[in-house]
Amino acid sequence: MNFIQYIKDSFDELSNHMTWVTKEEAQKTTVTVAVFTIVFALAVAGIDYVFQTGLDNFFGMFKSN
């Protein structure tokens, strides 16, 4: 199969044989993913802050003045 035939077959598959989600469903899914991404990022930042503070305090005990 040559490249041109591959492109034609791919276009036919995408336009005639695929089931696409509705615009509303795509928007709803996008918002859900965005919200969970933000929540996860905040959770990771919070855990990072706690560990960084703990390590700073731990190593601060050994600092000479």
Which sequence spans correspond to the domains of the chain?
A: 33-65
Which pLDDT value is given to residue 63?
83
pLDDT 10s digits, 7-46:
999 999 988 988 889 999 999 999 999 999 999 999 999 9
Q: Which amino acid is at 39?
A: V
Per DSSP, the chain holds a count of helices (H) and strands (E) of: 2, 0
Residue type for position 48? D
Q: What is the pTM of this model?
A: 0.64
Residue 35 CA neighbour count, 13 Å, CB half: 6
Residue 6 binned pLDDT confidence (cut-offs 50, 70, 90) = very high
Check residue 20 and give its pLDDT.
Answer: 87
